[in-house]
Structure 1
């Protein structure tokens, strides 16, 4: 039975939306570097039998572009999710997912700066609208916050995470014809887990109380390590192959929708007016930038 591409793309965004809520739900139960480390260890174990044969076949290409592979691992595997898990200690999962929606905007800006790609009129207008939306979310709708430098630390960390993910996405776009996706993903997972190991070990050593491996913690690791990593990745890739990257990119705007829904249902978070107005500006700006 062939699964329609739109179902695959929606499934991926549902799982990625849940990632923000899961990270927020286990703050205090498992530290962020350790959660990220166990996530990618589990993802590696699940993905290894799927992609190992392709790694052997593509090893020469991976060695040839080892600097790119290393950067992909540092930005997309090591930094992005870990920073998100750190951020949700001091911001809501709704805010984090809304900030994440600015990824296309950062990609356009980086492409303009480093690749000298020209921005269209719609991209410029959409970027300005989205950045205004981000500022509105950061300020919580209160303009006095910027005068008092009273910005939420967690929101700023999410923006740093988005910057890392934008670099990752830009490299994926630039090297999509030179680096095979499945084998590259497996290798970046392995490298990322190695980078995260010393940070996780430090967290474990310095914890005041040891981690209690409750069903909640184990379920969170299972979710982020299999569903949000492997199932979402494979579903997204298959959907993109069937309908194209441009049409698929619009579906990324569903991530904050699902994250907000899950946050309200499972964490008791309540969206405030500033988030709704800022979120609409962010998503509207991103949609506008995709116009030809």
Structure 2
């Protein structure tokens, strides 16, 4: 059965929106490095039968671009979600998902700096609007916070996570013709999980009670490892194949929308005016940058 592309793309954003809320919901019950490590171990086990033949066939390509594969594993697998899980210890899942919406803006900035790509007028204006929106969210709409530069530590960590994801996304775009996405994802998962292993072991050694096993924590691992990783990834890729990356990218703006719904319904977060205003500015800026 073939699903319409908009169904697949919306499903992916629903699952990714839930990822931020899950990370927030299990803070204090499962440490961030351990959650990220278990997530990718489970994702590898599920994805391996689907992608192993592709990875075996494409192995010479990985050997020829091993440095890029390592960076992809570091930024997209090991760093991004781990930093998000660390960040939501100190900030809300709504803020984290709003920060994630700035990914296209960071990609434009990185493309301008490192690839010397020219920015259009709409891209420059949209970038400025989105960055103003981020600043508004970070400061909570408080002029005093801006003057004293007293931003939430968790928000800043999530910004670093988004920067890592932007590097990953830019490299995926640049090497799409040399590194096939399906098999590269499997290899990146394996390498990223190995990168996370020593940190997860360190958490286990240094924390008295590294994991509080319960239905909630087990469910969280299965959610992030299968739904937010494999199902969302495959849904997104098949959706992009049908309508193209540019048209699909606008659907990413649904992530904070679904995250806000889940956060308010399931974990009792409150949507604040500063988040609404800043979020609208971020999303409006992203939409503007995608206009010709």
- Asked whether the two chains share a fold, i.e. TM above 0.5, the reply is yes
Query: Aligned partners of 2:99 and 2:209: how far apart in 1?
Result: 32
1:58 aligns with 2:69: no
Q: 1:66 to 1:210 in 2, by over 3 A?
A: closer
| 3-state SS in 2 of match to 1:271 | coil
Deviation at 1:210, TM superposition (A): 4.3
Deviation at 1:258, TM superposition (A): 0.2
Q: Which residue of 1 aligns with 2:86?
A: 86
Which structure 2 residues correspond to residues 227-242 of structure 1 after superposition, within 5 A? 227-242=227-242
Q: Which residue of 2 aligns with 1:76?
A: 76
| 3-state SS in 2 of match to 1:27 | coil
Q: Which residue of 1 aligns with 2:207?
A: 207
5+ unaligned residues in a row in structure 1: which ranges?
A: none
Query: Aligned partners of 2:128 and 2:213: how far apart in 1?
Result: 45
Q: Which residue of 1 aligns with 2:47?
A: 47
Q: Which residue of 2 aligns with 1:97?
A: 97
Which structure 2 residues correspond to residues 1-292 of structure 1 after superposition, within 5 A? 1-292=1-292
Q: For this pair of structures, how many residues does the alignment match?
A: 292
Deviation at 1:147, TM superposition (A): 1.8
| 3-state SS in 1 of match to 2:218 | helix
5+ unaligned residues in a row in structure 2: which ranges?
A: none
Query: Aligned partners of 1:214 and 1:263: how far apart in 2?
Result: 20
Query: Aligned partners of 2:34 and 2:212: how far apart in 1?
Result: 13
Query: Aligned partners of 1:246 and 1:209: how far apart in 2?
Result: 45
Deviates more, 1:171-180 or 1:142-151: 142-151
Indicate if the aligned counterparts of 2:31 and 2:210 stay in contact, CA closer than 8 A: no
Query: Aligned partners of 1:267 and 1:212: how far apart in 2?
Result: 18
Deviation at 1:208, TM superposition (A): 2.1
Compute the TM-score of the two structures, normalised by the length of structure 1.
0.99
Residues 227-276 of structure 1: per-residue CA shift (max 9 Å, x gap): 00000000000000000000000000000000000000001111110000
Indicate if the aligned counterparts of 2:30 and 2:210 stay in contact, CA closer than 8 A: no
| 3-state SS in 2 of match to 1:216 | helix
Residues 101-145 of structure 1: per-residue CA shift (max 9 Å, x gap): 000000000000000000000000000000000000000000111
Query: Aligned partners of 1:151 and 1:33: how far apart in 2?
Result: 24
Compute the TM-score of the two structures, normalised by the length of structure 2.
0.99
